[in-house]
Structures are given as structure tokens and as C-alpha cells.
Amino acid sequence: MHAVAVQLAPILGAEKSKVPFYVAGGLLVAWALFVSLGLGTRLLDFPSSLSQERGVLATTVVLVLAALSTAVITSGGASKSEAKAATPAQTSSADESSAAGATTAETSSTATTAPPKATTGTPAPASSPAARAGGALKLAADPGGQLTYDTKQLSTRAGTVKIAFANSSPIEHNVTIAQGAKVLGATPTFTGGSKSLTLTLKPGTYTFYCSVPGHRQAGMEGTLNVS
């Protein structure tokens, strides 16, 4: 049994599972039961000689060493296997962390280096001078004395509107601006010269006419369109 145990210990220790340890431990337990119960209780003078005593001790020592050896080797193999199993997982976690860091860096770089979007010019608000300018209009009475203007249609933009009225007729005239029944302004009534009228007008349709009695009724009027 001594020779078998000596030859069995390296083979069992070479295994990477826990079976060798169980086998060696089982042999040790079986040997202990055999010596104590099988021989010790039946043979009162056991061991009866020095050679038997040495044989029992040697076998016991060999089995104990085999059990210890398989326990150490098995635990070492298991630790190596666990280390190998843990290494890919750690490597994978490290790769994922690196990939996540790279993605974050790319996103940050993209957000930092993104070119600004081009914007179009903002139109001037209604209160700005460009939107407020209406323009200058010219209007004239018929120089021959007829009760009429030289046009019946005027157009301009909303805002400040200046109307320059010329009257070379021998008859006195003026220009009156109204919206519906509401009179907004008028030039003085005159002859032989020019007068101007400045108003701030909103978009809409207005009427210009001469307020001298009878002139408007005779046809001295027109329409002013403000857009």
C-alpha cells in the first residue's frame, strides 16, 4: 500500500479537479477505520511487533501526506483557473471602460469643434428708421384752373409721409388727408406756390381732397394707399 500511495499521489495531484483530494481523504479515513476498528478491537496485542508498528505508522504518514498534497495542489489549480476566468472579464471591463471614455471624448470634441450655424439678417423692427420711413409724395393742382389734381392715385409705405403740394392755378386750393370721416391733416389753402404736409400713417386706404367748398364735389379728390 505504501508503494501504491507514493505512485498515486503525483497522479492525483496532477488533476485539476477536487476528485484527487476526495480519493486521498477517503483512503485516509478508510485506513484509520481499518486500523482502529478492524485491527485494534480484534487484536488486543496489536501491534504485536515493531515491524507492524512501523508499517502502520508509515502507511498512515503516506496517506496523510497524499491528502495534504492533493489538497494543496487542487486548491492551487482552482486558484489559477479562477484567475484565468477572471482575467478575460477584467480585460473586457477595461475595454468597455476605454471604449466609453473614447466615446465621451469624441462627443465632447464634436460639441466643442462644431461650427456655428449661419444666421440670416434680422429684419428691422417696426420702430426702426428704415421701417418708419414712408417717403415723399408730390401732388399738383391743374395749372389751367380746372378743379382737379394731376393724379387721383398716390401710394407710399407706412410711417412718416410727406406730401409736397404745388398750386400754380389762379384758384386757391389745399390738400386734406382723411380716413373715413376723420380728418388727419391739411395744408394751408393758397395759390401761386407750394406747401407741404407731413403725417405719420399706418397701412390702409386714405382719401386726399381739396376742402374748399365745392371743389371736392367737382372732382378734386383721390385715393392714397399706404402699405
The CATH number that applies at residue 184 is 2.60.40.420
Choice among 9-23, 119-133, 196-210 with the minimum mean pLDDT: 119-133
> Which structural domain, as residue segments, surrounds residue 51?
2-113
Cβ neighbors of 203 (< 8 A, separation 6 or more) are: 158, 226, 227
Supply the pLDDT for residue 119: 41
Residue that wins the pLDDT comparison between 107 and 145? 145
Name the domain boundary from 113, 141, 170: 113
- Confidence check: pLDDT of 139 > 80: yes
User: What pLDDT shows up at residue 29?
Assistant: 76
pLDDT band of residue 67 (cuts 50, 70, 90) is: confident
Task: List the beta bridge partners of residue 137.
Answer: 163
Residues 211 and 141 in one domain: yes
- pLDDT tens profile 35-63: 676 666 666 666 667 776 777 777 777 77
Residue 144 domain-assigned?
A: yes
Residue 131 above 70 pLDDT?
no
Evaluate whether residue 120 is within a structural domain: no
| Residue 124 included in any domain | no
**Cell, residue 40:** 485494534
Task: Kindly report the pTM of this predicted structure.
Answer: 0.43
The answer to the question of residue 75 being in a domain is yes
Do 162 and 195 form a contact (C-beta atoms < 8 A)?
A: no
Average pLDDT, the chain: 73
Greater confidence (210 vs 77) lies with: 210
3-state secondary structure 100-115: HHHHHHHHHHHHHHCC
Count structural domains, the chain: 2
